[in-house]
Amino acid sequence: DIQMTQSPSSLSASVGDRVTITCRASQGLRNRLAWYQQKPEKAPKSLIYDVSSLQSGVPSRFSGRGSETEFTLTISSLQPEDFATYYCQQYNSYPLTFGGGTKVEIK
Amino acid sequence: QVQLVESGGGVVQPGGSLRLSCAASGFIFNNYDMHWVRQAPGKGLEWVAFIRYDGSNIQYIDSVKGRFTISRDNSNNALYLQMNSLRPEDTALYYCAKDFGNWANWFDPWGQGTLVTVSS
């Protein structure tokens, strides 16, 4: 199984800050990585797929990059609606696996 | 728009069974692969099962193999998860999720979930 490790597990930031979340895979993913946002009591929502492709309707302040085993999600200027938990997910092989999540909180 | 509505959750004793359903609308159901993903209370996301659009390929996480069965009824736009021999560690919110398309294996969108509680 491919293990996905996210860091940090939580962070505090202010509106307007640039925020970067890291996701590391235990083996190469051939760019098969997605990111999701989950707000409290809500279902996850897809943000990015194939490492860096922005899902339709997602603001351009979100971006993804990386390759093989190390990936990042960056929010260029944090907005109030961005406070949430973020998960990475690999879809290179079964079982499909998620990172443990990064909770972005208001400073 | 795409809508996924799960049902069938509840409280069940260890060793019991439940059948979850997911009613799909707003897209051509029999063109899309589907997944179940779960989230234990206060915890992260865990993929559970996958079924190809025509049922020709099915995958499970190891911890549910032999106990859970994913299926679909394309004539009724419905996805199912039959859960047998339930354990306390199966307690979670179970989400139905549409595959993005063409065996992408990532999820968009997700339903709102149905809660399964396994407890004596």
Q: What's the average model confidence in pLDDT over B37-44?
A: 98
Nearest chain B residue to A93, by CA: B105
Q: What's the average model confidence in pLDDT over B89-110?
A: 96
Burial class (CB in 10 A: 0-12, 13-18, 19+), B33: buried
Interchain pair A36, B46: CB under 8 A = no
pLDDT in tens, chain A (107 residues): 999 999 999 999 999 999 999 999 999 999 999 999 999 999 999 999 999 999 999 999 999 999 999 999 999 999 999 999 999 999 999 999 999 999 999 88
* Among B22, B7, B9, B114, CA closest to B76: B22
Q: Rounded to a whole number, what is the distance in angstroms from the first to the last CA of chain B?
A: 40
Interchain pair A98, B95: CB under 8 A = no
Interchain pair B105, A46: CB under 8 A = no
Q: How far apart are CA A97 and CA B57, in angstroms?
A: 18
Give the sign of the dihedral formed by CA B15, CA B65, CA A41, CA A6. positive
B61, B108, B111: residue with CB nearest A95: B61
Q: Residue A107: what pLDDT?
A: 87
Q: Residue A106: what pLDDT?
A: 87
Interchain pair A96, B104: CB under 8 A = no
